[in-house]
Structure 1
Amino acid sequence: MKQSPRVLLVEDEPAIAELVTVNLRHGGFEPVWAADGDEAQRELDAVLPDAILLDWMLPGQSGLALARKWRAAERTRGVPILMLTARGDEPDKVAGLDAGADDYITKPFSTQEMLARIRAVLRRRAPEQDSSAVQVGELSLDPQAHRARWRGEPVKLGPTEFKLLNYLMHHPERVHSRSQLLDKVWGDHVFIEERTVDVHVKRLREALGPAGLMVETVRGAGYRFTAQPEAAARNH
């Protein structure tokens, strides 16, 4: 008999937790409830779940802090995380994704939507990132050391911006649509909006400073990483 996927729910409101766990069980999942970060960590240490439903607002450590912590830990790095949040504004959604969440569900949400999103992240296969060092012009990137440099100076990048730059630098001078970038950088995220790509490209450009011109907008098509920022500047 096939075992039901185990879902760890981290939610401090008992009424919401009870409703979600009942629906998860009816949806074919094995729910485990933790009311805060410490309890959740004990559950994770005992048995690794197939997915984590993580509330943004928690007593003690926030869901955002927990997502960052679990993404940084070797053992929990690959477990899909879905943020449960009343925060529907785009910057908050991007912050959740940037912290390592695979998707977000904005309260109030329907049972069917929640179950569909969990199934989607369980189906998703994270794209393989090229781990070889690469240099384009005066910009260099070493995925294994997680370092980027522009003219020898270190560039500080968030985790998503780093993955985006890694993909673009390994596939220069090609036009990539937003949906292609979602597939290649984020994975098969059924529910993530294409607008998310624009937000991360903007943040990547800002982090790169003068080298940001190498990330060229191709109107009506998507983005291209070019070794000739002068040409990019004319078309930007």
Structure 2
Amino acid sequence: MRLAYRGAPFHGWQCQPGEVTVQSVIEAALSTVMRRDMKIVGAGRTDTGVNARMMVAHFDVDSPLTDPARLVRNLNAIVGKDIAIEEIYEVEPDKHARFDATSRTYHYYAVTSKSPFFYPLSWKAPEGLDFGKMNEAAAILLETADFTSFAKLHTDAKTNICRVTKARWERVGDDGWVFVITADRFLRNMVRAVVGTLVEVGRGKMSVSQFAEVIAKRDRCAAGTSMPGHALYLWEVTY
């Protein structure tokens, strides 16, 4: 299942007791249409308010679906306006949406001018933010293995090792920027913590060399604060 969603109405992707999440809404809709209890497994877990241009999930059925396109239409009629089921297709029985993913890409959007249209889905950057310096610091991420300094504390992650293959701020139009980061895996809260620390560099409150020192300390308290989730998007998952 390939889908997209706006994260603001949900308490993240993963099912949680007493909370409305993307996974719980889709599972309820799928169970209604299939007339039996259905569970799905996502390619990752986005936090509260985080968006997804592309999320992939898998689910098991007892026999091949006769009309996947119809199932897509039926689900979209139930899941609400903030979730869009885009495609459902058959894969090999041993395929896994999470463990078979080879890379994931996130985008973080920032705008440099105030807009009544952009604010719900992007971050208003302060004037004078030095994106050149931020890119100098971001380049260090390509040489980094241990991302403990950007990892949420007290999670069930067995390792904080990630391989980042792209990390760069790119121009979008006249007054927009997007931070694009691709890795084989991401830790809880990692992208928002990375962006928050890069913003410290852009504001002149941290040098590029100090950014490298933050990474070397392997201490979340040494890094910057996490950025708001509304401007973050799970952009692509590759297999």
What TM-score do the two structures reach when normalised by structure 1? 0.26
What TM-score do the two structures reach when normalised by structure 2? 0.26
Give the structure, 1 or 2, with the largest relative contact order (CA under 8 Å, sep 6 or more). 2
